[in-house]
Amino acid sequence: MNIENQRDVEVVDRDGYARRQRVTEYRASTRNIVINRISQLLWLIYGLVAILLTFRFVFRLVGADPSSFVALIYNVTNPLVAPFAGAFAQTEAAGFDAGAVLAIIVYGIIVWAVVSLLHILLKESGGVRRVVSRERIVD
């Protein structure tokens, strides 16, 4: 449901003309605001996942010692990389974790598709401002 703000403005000029203006504004509804917040939350979650996967990629690339922090990153990101781990097994031995790179790309595409679908299916059109002006000669 849109929120409507309507106001009438009447202006009389000295030259004998009367001008009446009606301004109607439709602002974003609560549903649009909720959809935008859900979209922002999905992108935030993706950003955090991408940061973790980037840490994993860099740690594997430089051959970091699996200390407590590095091991924590590996343990947290293992379920995220598992669907893509077998795709590039030969490059992982050289320190290049292609599964992490592929996971970042695929998860980004998935979030983009879900957010786009939310906006297409559920979002109302944006705010609209309509101005109707009428002029007449005043006797």
Q: Whole-angstrom Cα distance, residue 132 to residue 127?
A: 17
Q: What is the pLDDT along the chain (139 residues), one digit of tens a residue?
A: 445 566 666 666 667 676 777 777 766 677 888 899 999 999 999 999 999 999 999 998 988 888 889 999 999 999 999 998 777 656 555 678 888 999 999 999 999 999 999 988 887 766 666 667 666 666 6
**Dist. CA 119–CA 45, nearest whole Å:** 18
Report the predicted TM-score, pTM, of the whole model to 2 decimal places: 0.68
Strand partners, 26: 4, 128
User: Residue 71 in contact with residue 55, Cβ under 8 Å?
Assistant: no
Of 33, 42, 6, nearest to 126 by C-alpha is: 33
